[in-house]
Every structure is written in C-alpha cells, then in structure tokens.
Amino acid sequence: MRREIPILITSVAGLVFAVSYFIPHFPFGESESIFGDWVTIVQAFAIWLGALNLIKVSWEKISRKKADWPFALLIVISLVATLLIGFIDGYRGLNAEPQYSFRDPGTSFDWLFRHVYTALTSTMFSMLAFFVGSASYRAFRARNLQATLLLIAGFFVMGGRVPLLDQMIAPIWDYPFFSHLADWIMTFPNTAGQRAIMIGIALGVMSSSLRIILGIERSHVGGGTR
Amino acid sequence: MMATMATIATVVVGLTLIYVLYRTIKGRPVERRIVFVYIAFSVILPLMMQISPPLPITGDVLKVYDNIKVLQPGSKVLCAFDYDPPSAPELQPMAVAFMKYAFKHDLKVIIMGLWPQGPQQAQMAVEEAMLDPEVAAKNLQEGIDWVNLGFQSGNEFVIQSMGSEFKRMFPKDDRLVPYDSIPLMKNVVNFSNIDYVMNFSSGKPGTVEWVQIGVDRFGVKMSAGNTAVQAPMVYPYLRAGQLLGILGGMSGAAEFEKVLDEEGDASTFLLAQMFAHATVIAFIIIGNIAFFIGGRRKKITTPQVK
C-alpha cells in the first residue's frame, strides 16, 4: 500500500491534467483546479521539508565534528535567525493597525534581504565572471571543428551583444554590423538549435510521463522499472 | 579626474596583456589569480568612467517598445517578477525603466512573483521609479495605481489557477490587504481583464512557464526581460510569435532604457560588461595563439595556486 497509493494518485492526477487540456469541462476542469491547488499546497510544504532536511544534515555534521562543521553551524544559525526575524516581523505586522507583511519596507526582514542576502548571493554569482575569465585563458581552445565553430560564434556574440566590435570598426565603417550579426546568430542558428533541443526534451518528458502515469516507471516511489 | 585616471589605468592594463601573450607563448603562462585581477579591473574601472557607448536598438527591444506604447492610460499591466538578487544587475534596470514608463503613462501595474524574492525586487523597482520627479509629481497610490500581490508557491500551477481566478492564488496582497478591498483589483477576475503581461525572469519558473500556460492557454499578450543566460532559450518563442518582444541581458536593458529615454544603471553596467567581454576575448585569443604557436605540443595549464 505504501507504493500503490502514491502510484494511484500520480496516475489519476496525470490523467486529469492531460485530459483537461483537451476537455476543459466538468469533471476534468474542476478536478484540474483541485489538483492544481494541491500542487501549490504540497510545494509550500516542500519548502519546509527542505529547511528541515538542511537542519538535519547540518546537525549531523556538527555533532560528529566532520570537516568544515563550523560552516554547517553558521548555516543553522543563519536559518534559525532569519526564520525568527521573519516570524517576529510577521507577528508584529498582524497585530498592527493597519496590518503589514514581514517583507514590507522598514521591517528587519526587509533589511536582512536588502543588506545581507542581496550582497551575499550577488557575491556568489559574480564569482562566475572570474571562473569564466580563467577558463577562457586555459580551456577555450580551437582543438577541433566543433570547438572552432563554438569559439567563432562565441566571439561574435560576445563582441556583438555589447558595442565592442562595432566601436572598433567605427572609424572605418559606421554601421552596427557586429550587433546585427550577433542578433542574426541568436535569431536563426540559436533558435534552430534550441527548438531541436526543446522538441527532444518534450518527447522525452512525454514518454517518461506516460511511463509514470501507467505505473511502469516506479522509481519516484522507491521502486524500479516494472 | 576619476574618469581620466580610470581611462589611463585601462590603457595600461590593456598593454600588460601583450606581456601576458609573450609569457604564454614562451610556455610560462600566468597564474589563475593574475587572470582574476584582470577580470576585476575590467569590471571596476569602467564603473568609474563617465562614458555611454553608442548603442543600436535591436529589433527585439523595439518590439517590446512598440507593444507597450500602444497601451492606453488606465490599461492594466501584470508584471511578474521571477528573479532574485544575483540576477538583479541585468533585470532590475529593465524593471525600473518599465515601472517609470508605466507610471508616467498612467498604466495600472499589478505585481506578482513566482520566486519568493521577486516581490521584494519589485518593491525596490517601484521605490526607485518613485524617485523620478515626473512620477513623484503624480502622487501615485498603492492599491489604486499599483499593487504588489506578493509571492505564491506552485510554479506554473499558479499561472494556471490565475487563468480562472486571480483571487484563488492571491486572496491578499503583499501588505495583507484582502483582494476584494483593493480598488485596482475591482473587476479583475482573470487574465481576460489584463491588457498586457511583462515578465522579468532569470530561470524556472519564469518566461517559459508563462508562455506555455499564460500565452498558449489563456492568450495573454506578453513580452519578457531575461538574463543573457536565459535569453537564448526563449528566442524560439519570439520567432513563433508567442512572445511579443525580448529584452535580453544587460544590452537589452540598456537598449530598453535608451528607447524609453530613461537612462539608468544598465547603460553604466553595459560599459563594464563591454570591458569584461573584451578581456575574456583577449584571453581566448592569447590562449589560442599560444596553443597554435606551440604546435599543439603541450596543453597550456596555469600553475595552480596552493
């Protein structure tokens, strides 16, 4: 029963969503709405599940003093502190007149978001620029035809999406040639490639979905393929 | 003074690249941390310069402009903020420029987010737009001229439910005001009451989900502002006419600011991106010259920093 019920729910929900796209009337339309609300609720719970899992994993690391355990401790402290601040702001907001949200400007949670979270996440993301720079020097080589084509396309897109190459040729030709070239690469070769990938993914998703709906694929409930 | 010094420093940094080329050809490649210093300079120095590079407006950005300029005062525009702070340098300038335009042209803006951080990014965009004297003079009221419905979990299912009724997904706005008490939301039941959708997105859920559910199923008119990483993935929707226009990356943001005549951060950031691209291209060229001159004898690897 531990597997049969989840498989049954998956099959019914999958069938309802598939059929309601073509027949958006009673009972499929209504059922789709109900399952849609379920998804929203389950996803909200999944956020909690993720947070609890993070605490569990980090706590194990701390209690066994594994490598880098101080970072795990920092994660737990940050998580709990952010939650507490959000709850306190939310509680105050609910009891204020007029009511306000924990995210509203002027709350401690908003201050954390603007001055701590934003700075930290932006710093992490901006590291990419350094790694791309390093990789461009050490790894981007025209070793074969495919790599050469990729490098040439990358060169023109990087130089054309910003007014770099156009500015370099401006003294002799005042026409945004490289901008238009980058635009052409994005619009035609890129679109063609992306469409091929999208169609391939869609076919894969369809076949996987069918296998899950029909109960052939059971790995998502801890079983293998039937 | 600062701008002149930054320009001189840029020239010096550029010249030192010749030395890097020489060293690399001789089989003595520079360390990784030296490359990092080059990248840091290429991003920081342009931010001190007061130069606006000439920028042609591409067709994709013009399409966005052409579609929003026909919106009549009072038109209801749904703005979906589906990104977080790491993507803000590219997307926030687009959002600010759009907000300024919308407020100046009396469009009614309804904000929502499929990302938890989205509504706060929207709040910051609104605050910045409000600093514009022309916008400030209008004395716009939250709930009447604009509303922030906040975040709702559920990804594409939120869009799907909004197709039947917005209120189901957003019973209260971000300031806990009940849906029925918001003057702007009076007579707004679902997408059929929305004139235009503008999506700012950096991943999933985002533009792809909005196109698949909002556009294909409910027929909304939509344009999107995307990060440079995501833009190539949504181009097929533009060619198919499902998206009316795309603002792609920093250049898209700068072009959008230019076409709206709302110069902002993107124009400055674009210069930094231009220099960073130039540095990356220079390193690619240096690496490949050394690779070919070396007769592919050995792979170029930088000494690892211990």
Taking a contact as any Cβ pair under 8 Å apart, which residues of chain A between 19 and 48 contact chain B?
21, 32-33, 36-37, 39-40, 43-44, 47
Q: If you search the block for the tokens 């360390």, which residue do you land on?
A: B31
Q: Specify burial of residue B222 (Cβ count, 10 A radius: 0-12, 13-18, 19+).
A: buried
Which of helix, strand or coil describes residue B26? coil
The Cα–Cα gap between A149 and A136 comes to 15
Taking a contact as any Cβ pair under 8 Å apart, which residues of chain A between 70 and 109 contact chain B?
93-94, 98-101, 103-105
In 3D space, the residue among B71, B118, B63, B72 whose CA is nearest the CA of residue B95 turns out to be B118
The domain locations on chain B are 2-52+268-293, 59-262
Question: For residue range A26-71, what is the model confidence (pLDDT) as tens digits?
Answer: 888 888 888 888 888 888 898 889 999 999 999 999 999 999 999 9
Query: What are the residue ranges in chain B where pLDDT is below 50?
Result: 305-306
- Per-residue pLDDT, A33: 82
- Per-residue pLDDT, B298: 55
DSSP B153-175: SSTHHHHHHHHH-HHHH-SB-TT
- Per-residue pLDDT, B2: 65
- Per-residue pLDDT, B102: 97
DSSP chain A: -TTHHHHHHHHHHHHHHHHHHH--STTHHHHHHHHHHHHHHHHHHHHHHHHHHHHHHHHHHHHTT-TTHHHHHHHHHHHHHHHHHHHHHHHHHHTSSS---TTSTTSHHHHHIIIIIHHHHHHHHHHHHHHHHHHHHHT----SHHHHHHHHHHHHHHHHHTTHHHHHHTTT--S-HHHHHHHHHIIIIIHHHHHHHHHHHHHHHHHHHHHHHTTSB-GGGT--B-
| Among the four given CATH numbers 3.30.450.70, 3.50.4.10, 3.90.1300.10, 3.40.50.10160, the one describing domain B59-262 | 3.40.50.10160
Residues from chain B that touch A191, judged by Cβ atoms under 8 A, are 235-236, 239
Is the pLDDT confidence value at A221 over 90? no
Question: For residue range A192-207, what is the model confidence (pLDDT) as tens digits?
Answer: 999 999 999 999 999 9
CB pairs under 8 A between A and B: 178
Question: For residue range A70-100, what is the model confidence (pLDDT) as tens digits?
Answer: 999 999 999 999 999 999 999 999 999 888 8
- Per-residue pLDDT, B252: 95
Reading phi first (left if > 0) and then psi (alpha if -120 to 50, else beta), residue A215 is in: left
Residue % of chain B over a pLDDT of 70: 95
- Per-residue pLDDT, A174: 86
Q: How confident is the model at residue A1 (pLDDT cuts 50, 70, 90)?
A: confident
Is there a contact between B29 and A138 if contact means CB atoms under 8 Å apart? yes
Distance to chain B for A99, nearest Cα, Å: 7
Q: How many angstroms separate the Cα of B178 from the Cα of each of A124, B74, B174, B186?
A: 38, 22, 10, 11
pTM of the model: 0.89
Chain A: residue whose CA lies nearest to B283: A137
User: Which among B53, B175, B291 is the nearest to A141, CB-wise?
Assistant: B291
Is there a contact between B161 and A47 if contact means CB atoms under 8 Å apart? no
Is there a contact between A124 and B86 if contact means CB atoms under 8 Å apart? yes
Helices (H), B105-248: 118-130, 133-137, 156-164, 166-169, 207-209, 216-218, 231-239
Residues from chain A that touch B130, judged by Cβ atoms under 8 A, are none
